[in-house]
Structure 1
Amino acid sequence: MNTRGFRLETNFWSLWPTLCGLGWLLGLGLFLGLQAACGTAFDLPGTSPEDYCELNLENTSCKSLVEVYVNRLDSVESVLPYEYDTFDFCQDAAMKRPSENIGQALFGEQIISSPYKLSFNKTETCVSVCVKTYNAINKEQKKHLNFLRNGIRLNYQHHWIIDSMPVTWCRDTKDGRKHCTRGFPIGCFITRSGKANDDCINRPEFNKTNTFYIFNHVDITVIYHRENETDLHIARLIAAKIEPKSYKHSDENNLTCNGPPMEIAGEYADNLNVIYTYSVKFEENKDVKWSSRWDYVLESMTNTNIQWFSITNSFVVVLFLSGMVAVVIVQALHRDITRYNQKRSSGTVRQDFGWKLLSGDVFRPPENGLLLSVFLGQGVQILMMSLITLFVACLGFLSPANRGGLMTCAVVLWVLLGTPAGYVSAKMYKTFKGMKWKTHFFMTALLCPGFVFIDLFFMNMIIWTEGSSATISFSGFIAILVLWLSISVPLTLLGEYYGSQETFTCPVHINPLRRAIPQQKIFTKPLINIVVGAILPFGCIFTQLFYILNSIW
């Protein structure tokens, strides 16, 4: 059987994007190897432990002050998060803000210090933090109280941080199970009809209709572990839990932290004083070490067994798809090979038929080759960014304590990987025999990122008008523009230059004229093929996508 030959030409520049990616990994591996060979120790970002000791033993190697930081407040019933001070809670006079990275700016995280100051291993009961007064005549105070009540109605949640760990709140559910969340509510309310929301259930003291109950007291439990057996006064924090409560304090100078709950009437008329208090205790745990301290956060992840169902579902669908495609291909090849052998044995002149009729039209340049090459380049850039980000995360550099590190790593890698995008895009465009090189370069460098930037800008304007903390600052936009225009665009131009120097060599001969396509049946129409062809892949990812989006919202 006479078949057309296949050519495959490979040189150094065709492997250049792959070598760039390998260079990143080899450089990182060389750095880690030199560190190990020289015997010098270093800490991965976000993994450096903090040592604590009692106040009378405080020195340069340990500290006694346990700082509590607060993050933005969010709700499952609203897509807009708000800063901590927007709700008129107690504020720290110093108002310290940890260093913010690009990832935190894009996620809208607003971490600030709180007035809750804890001393290590010192038990305190009913400590006053501040007093908030709301006067019915004062419009500003009335506005703050209405905003607070609306936050309770929408079930906004606090998110506190102690020693870079999220503070969790655990409660018993109706079915007798223990449910933990990384955050706790502002309060709860009971409607006019007497219906209580989730946080007011199982609390018999919350029994008045059309009433809001604010959690103005918290019981904080900090769990620590003695890491060094020779130096027992040094400890490291391994968990932090909280229990929100509501108390109506009658006397600021004589706090007891018991009695009736703090009520806020649904229709505000009288003056109101809200006294915020807290109690704290420290517990030692000898079983859990500092290296495993993030395991307690897994208690807040419910329905973890559903992931096995989604994985099994995807695996079965992929096997079904692969088997179906393999059977079709094998049958088509077997039928064509049998017909070719029959022609050869009978001495008839060979004539192409079946799948070989398309061999001369597969590599024909498409009508919109410019857009296709641009999207191919951007796809390579995003694919390499994802793979390297996963690799860096597997090495442990993206610790959950380093908030915003994942997004920062992804953005920086995307900026630095502009060269592979330009190289692949230019090589494919030259293969398509394109001539508009200036247009191609600007579209490769600006089209997809430009749409994302414009969409981000308008969404940011909408969020800004609502006063949400998710708004990206002006300096954040300037930083993104500088990274994009001063680094990514020049690297894309460099890739365009190398990619335009060579063309992909087609492995088969291309027919000079297009083959006429016969009249197709109804089930071979593009719309029918799109719908039918997408059913199985959609069924493969639907389960995972559903639980991923459900957990995000």
Structure 2
Amino acid sequence: MAATLWAAALAASSLITSANAFYLPGTAPRDYHVNDRVPLYVNALTPMVLSADSKLFTMLKNESCMPICTATVPAKDAKFINDRIREDYAINWLVDGLPAAEMKEDERTKEIFYDMGFNLGDDEREEFKTNPALHNHYDIVLNYHTRDNVNYRVVGVVVWPRSIAHSSAKTLDCAAKKPRPLVLAEDQENSVTYSYTIHWRLHDGTIICIFSTAKIHWFSLINSLVIVIFLCVMVSMILVRTVSRDISRYNAIDLSEDVQEDFGWKLVHGEVFRSPRFPMVLSVLVGNGAQLCVMVGVTLSRLL
């Protein structure tokens, strides 16, 4: 029997051929043809395709200053949006599985880097300190690669957001050298017209890396780990001292005397065998906690 299994294994291994492959986490490369629709998703957790995706992203079709929609923002929502801009909230897009990025300059080193996502608005300039500007126009550059001029792949997405107070939905001011920024008034209703410009650019074929600037906060991670270990050790020492003291007291009792009432840890030693009131809830919580701990360990081990 063993010889038969070995023979079958050798026969199967002879059919194996070498192959070159790669895997990009979260996506796989997909080929498109000219005028094919390229999907756009907003946030990975809630993949709702924009209603204008077929208009925004059409393979190799450049578009300039195109309107998306006009939205009415009440005063209450305007205050909410302005607060989110001050808190540096960002918009996250996924185009064919690749996250959109914004090119920024490091204030200290003056180096240009890719930042995942792009800001909801602008409050850094002096004129926007009081009332921030909302980004409602997007200059989008889609980098693509092709080998045969038939099949095309998206290899990078870069977005430059701008704030433009368009005159109307039919009269867009994208070409203005110094357009008037869009500032949401918090005491009245606002009309916001969104627009975009899209440009396809040939790339050398490699996926544009926007994760190179991401760094692990090792100091904060180690600090939290040390605190957790210290608290666990402290609680363990307290429990050991309490249990050992109770055991010493029990050993000091004269067995010839009447049996005294239980005290200390013996009052609860039998409770561990009692069925909990909500066993399903307990099992779900324990299972989720164990899964989180295992995934944290696996993730950290892969980053080392």
Same fold, TM exceeding 0.5? yes
When you count strand as a share of all residues, which structure comes out higher? Answer: 2
* Cα distance change of structure 1 residues 249 and 452 upon mapping to structure 2, 3 Å threshold: farther
The equivalences for 1:119-134 within 5 A come to 119-134=58-73
Identify the match of residue 113 of structure 1 among 49, 65, 84.
Answer: 49
Q: TM-score, normalised by structure 1?
A: 0.35
- Check whether the contact 1:65–1:119 (CA below 8 A) recurs between aligned residues: yes
* Cα distance change of structure 1 residues 255 and 48 upon mapping to structure 2, 3 Å threshold: same
Seq. identity, %: 22
Which amino acid in 2 is paired with 1:145? A
- Check whether the contact 1:166–1:182 (CA below 8 A) recurs between aligned residues: yes
Q: CA deviation at 1:233?
A: 2.1
- Check whether the contact 1:35–1:41 (CA below 8 A) recurs between aligned residues: no
Per-residue CA deviations over 1:285-332 (Å, capped at 9, x if unaligned) read 12x34xxx2x5123442x58x97x99xx9xxxxxxxxxxxxxxxxxxx
Per-residue CA deviations over 1:322-353 (Å, capped at 9, x if unaligned) read xxxxxxxxxxxxxxxxxxxxxxxxxxxxxxxx
Q: CA deviation at 1:209?
A: 4.7
Q: CA deviation at 1:163?
A: 0.7
Q: CA deviation at 1:133?
A: 1.6
- Which position in structure 2 is the counterpart of 1:248? 165
Which amino acid in 2 is paired with 1:162? V
Q: CA deviation at 1:237?
A: 1.0
User: What is the rounded CA distance, in whole Å, between the counterparts of 2:76 and 2:106 in structure 1?
Assistant: 35
Q: CA deviation at 1:256?
A: 2.9
Per-residue CA deviations over 1:245-275 (Å, capped at 9, x if unaligned) read 110101211213131111123xx23432111
When you count helix as a share of all residues, which structure comes out higher? Answer: 1
- Give unmatched runs, 5+ long, in structure 2: 1-8, 223-242, 245-269, 292-299
Aligned residues: 226
- Which position in structure 2 is the counterpart of 1:517? none
User: Which deviates further from its counterpart, 39-48 or 243-252?
Assistant: 39-48
Identify the match of residue 68 of structure 1 among 40, 61, 64.
Answer: 40
- Check whether the contact 2:144–2:201 (CA below 8 A) recurs between aligned residues: yes
Identify the match of residue 150 of structure 2 among 219, 233, 241.
Answer: 233
- Check whether the contact 1:217–1:247 (CA below 8 A) recurs between aligned residues: yes
- Which position in structure 2 is the counterpart of 1:20? none
- Which position in structure 2 is the counterpart of 1:185? 119
Which amino acid in 2 is paired with 1:133? T
- Which position in structure 1 is the counterpart of 2:201? 283
Q: What's the RMSD between the two structures over aligned residues?
A: 4.2
Per-residue CA deviations over 1:224-252 (Å, capped at 9, x if unaligned) read 1113xxx3221111111111111010121
**1:207 aligns to what SS in structure 2?**
helix
- Check whether the contact 1:168–1:300 (CA below 8 A) recurs between aligned residues: no
* Cα distance change of structure 1 residues 187 and 47 upon mapping to structure 2, 3 Å threshold: closer
User: What is the rounded CA distance, in whole Å, between the counterparts of 1:246 and 1:237 in structure 2?
Assistant: 27
- Which position in structure 1 is the counterpart of 2:210? 297
**2:16 aligns to what SS in structure 1?**
helix
- Which position in structure 1 is the counterpart of 2:16? 37
Q: TM-score, normalised by structure 2?
A: 0.61
Answer yes or no: is 1:274 the counterpart of 2:188: no
Q: CA deviation at 1:160?
A: 0.5
User: What is the rounded CA distance, in whole Å, between the counterparts of 1:35 and 1:245 in structure 2?
Assistant: 59
**1:169 aligns to what SS in structure 2?**
strand
Per-residue CA deviations over 1:447-491 (Å, capped at 9, x if unaligned) read 9855447989xxxxxxxxxxxxxxxxxxxxxxx9xxxxxxxxxxx
* Cα distance change of structure 1 residues 269 and 298 upon mapping to structure 2, 3 Å threshold: closer
**1:149 aligns to what SS in structure 2?**
helix
* Cα distance change of structure 1 residues 38 and 285 upon mapping to structure 2, 3 Å threshold: closer
- Check whether the contact 1:182–1:300 (CA below 8 A) recurs between aligned residues: no
The equivalences for 1:337-356 within 5 A come to none
User: What is the rounded CA distance, in whole Å, between the counterparts of 1:51 and 1:215 in structure 2?
Assistant: 32
- Check whether the contact 1:187–1:215 (CA below 8 A) recurs between aligned residues: yes
- Check whether the contact 1:68–1:162 (CA below 8 A) recurs between aligned residues: yes
User: What is the rounded CA distance, in whole Å, between the counterparts of 1:50 and 1:173 in structure 2?
Assistant: 33
- Check whether the contact 2:122–2:128 (CA below 8 A) recurs between aligned residues: no
